Amino acid sequence: MRTRRGLCYPRADVCVDKIVVKRRDFTGYNMACRKRQRFSPVIAGNSDLFDALPDDLVISILSKLSSSASCPSDFINVLITCKRLNSFALQPLVLSKASSKLLAIKAENWSESAHRFLKCCADAGNVEACHTLGMIRFYCLQNRGSGASLMAKAAISSHAPALYSLAVIQFNGSGGSKNDKDLRAGVALCARAAFLGHIDALRELGHCLQDGYGVRQNITEGRRFLVQANARELAAGLSSASVSNIATCSWLTWSPHPIPHPTNRYPNVPGCPLLSDFGCNVPAPEAHPANKFLTDWFGSRDGIPGPGLRLCSHVGCGRPETRKHEFRRCSVCGAVNYCSRACQALDWKLRHKAECAPVERWLDEEGVGGDGMDEVIAES
């Protein structure tokens, strides 16, 4: 028999045996019926068309799947299909192309097998796996050296989120003492990540230039970087809305929001409580899978990473302190703390601007300890 294109179907010269089964009908008489075997051993063993596919074609298909998977289950379902797919799906060529969504393992599903899978992806050269596993090891498993080396491996390959994560570590001296801070290294890493298009790094670099933090102060250049970060943020919001077919007319509007507790320093003037300085109701950017993992990991532990330690108050961050008083507090209310200026700027426009209440004086709940009192961070 031929197909529409003139090709012949593969012939299977197999004789399917027939057996006779006796059974009784409802009247009690014996009656014979012929029943075919469900599977022929010849077809099952020698004429499987899937086994006839070339190995390189199967690996190419699996590589495309790993790069376009929308969640880990899309790939796991392939692993449990058959031994051949399982062996091919764990090839370094396939794992090296795994997307960040495929590596978005939930904290509640963390296990040794999940750890091994991320390690295999990292060993295959997947920079997303290096960054994700590095963040998990550094902050969650408290394996500082291994986590930092994995993030450095991704940063060497010009992975912007890994560069920014290392910059935050340098700014705070995470994993060490207060004297381990390297502000110049943090600024250099931020500049590299900003050059690669990382919005948070660009915003952090702008604030560093404005404040003269780790670099010579240049208010004009810092403001230019902040405006550029907001423009990229708006472009990213428009792009994501067009891909997901979301109407933008509802959030491309000015929404003045007065400061709730006006003072001489913070008068009651209309402002934009949104993530962009262009007066657009831009939705909050989606957090990186590594940050989501950190948020869920410490959220299941009542948000307490350790005795006397705190989490970054920005909901999309999830980074914890590695020592007491590592993060800087809000200079107005002292009720929130942030790992970076970028997280402070985002949380201010997203949430804290409507909640911040100036106080005359605030002290740490446990008094002075660790490396001393917290640093403060001014609201912008």
Q: CB atoms < 10 A from the CB of 59, how many?
A: 15
Q: How far is CA 220 from CA 159, 206, 225, in A?
A: 28, 9, 9
254: three-class secondary structure by DSSP: coil
Is residue 82 a contact partner of residue 113, using CB atoms and an 8 Å limit? no
Average pLDDT, the chain: 77
Distance separating alpha carbons of residues 194 and 188, to the nearest angstrom? 10
262's CB contacts (< 8 A; 6+ apart) are: 268
The band of 360, judged by pLDDT with boundaries at 50, 70 and 90, is low
Task: List Cα–Cα distances, 131 to 84, 137, 275, 359, 376, in angstroms.
Answer: 29, 10, 26, 39, 29
Q: What is the pLDDT of residues 1-28, one digit of tens each?
A: 555 555 555 554 444 444 444 444 444 4
DSSP structure class, residue 178: G
Domain that includes residue 321, residue range: 289-354
CA dihedral 352, 354, 357, 363 (to 10 degrees): -20
CB 352 within 8 A of CB 336: yes
Does residue 21 lie within any of the structural domains?
Answer: no
Kindly give, in sequence order, each residue whose CB lies less than 8 Å from that of residue 233, ignoring residues fewer than 6 positions away.
199, 275, 276, 282, 285
Q: Is the pLDDT of residue 81 over 70?
A: yes
Judge whether 93 and 67 are in contact, CB under 8 Å.
no
Q: Work out the percent of the chain whose per-residue pLDDT is above 70.
A: 70
DSSP letter string, 181-197: --HHHHHHHHHHHHHTT
Residue 378 clears pLDDT 80, i.e. is over it: no
Rounded CA-CA distance 137/339 in Å is 18
Confidence (pLDDT) at 20: 45
The answer to whether the CB of 169 falls within 8 A of the CB of 135 is no
Nearest CA-CA partner of 322 in 204, 148, 153, 198: 148
pLDDT computed for residue 377 by the predictor: 60
Residue 298 falls inside a structural domain: yes
What single DSSP character describes residue 141?
S
Q: Is the pLDDT of residue 230 over 80?
A: yes
**pLDDT class for 183, splitting at 50, 70, 90?**
very high
pLDDT at 287 over 70: yes
Number of domains in the chain: 1
Cβ proximity of 135 and 321 under 8 Å: no
Q: φ and ψ at 329, to 5 degrees?
A: -90, 165
13-27, 240-254, 352-366: lowest mean pLDDT where? 13-27
150 part of a folded domain: no
User: Per the domain annotation, does 337 fall within a domain?
Assistant: yes
In this prediction, residue 247 carries a pLDDT of: 55
Which has more confidence, 323 or 271?
Answer: 323
Better-predicted residue by pLDDT, 296 or 373 = 296
236 found inside a domain: no
> Can you tell me the distance from the alpha carbon of 95 to that of 270, in angstroms, rounded to the nearest whole number?
50
Region of poorest pLDDT, from 49-53, 79-83, 217-221: 49-53
3-state secondary structure at position 23 = strand
Which pairing describes strands 328-330 and 257-258: parallel, antiparallel, or unpaired?
A: unpaired
Long-range contacts of 170-174 (CB under 8 A, 24+ apart): 171/214, 171/340, 172/322, 172/326, 172/327, 172/339, 173/326, 174/138, 174/322, 174/326
Band the pLDDT of 268: cuts 50, 70, 90.
very low
Q: Among 352, 344, 378, 346, which Cα is nearest to 233's?
A: 346
Is 60 exceeded by the pLDDT of residue 34?
Answer: no
Q: Is residue 88 part of a domain?
A: no
Residue 39 within a domain: no
Cα 27 to Cα 23, 31, 140, distances in angstroms: 11, 10, 72
Average pLDDT over residues 326-348: 86
Q: Model pTM?
A: 0.75
Q: What is the biggest distance separating any 2 CA atoms in the chain, rounded to whole angstroms?
A: 103
- Write the pLDDT tens digit of every residue in 138-179: 999 999 999 999 999 999 999 999 999 999 999 999 988 889
H-only helix segments in the chain:
41-46, 55-68, 72-79, 83-89, 92-95, 112-123, 127-135, 144-156, 160-172, 183-195, 199-211, 219-243, 289-299, 341-350
In a domain, 321, yes or no: yes
Instruction: Report the alpha-carbon distance of residue 45 to residue 64 in Å, rounded.
Output: 29
Query: Which tokens hold the place of 379?
Result: 């609201």
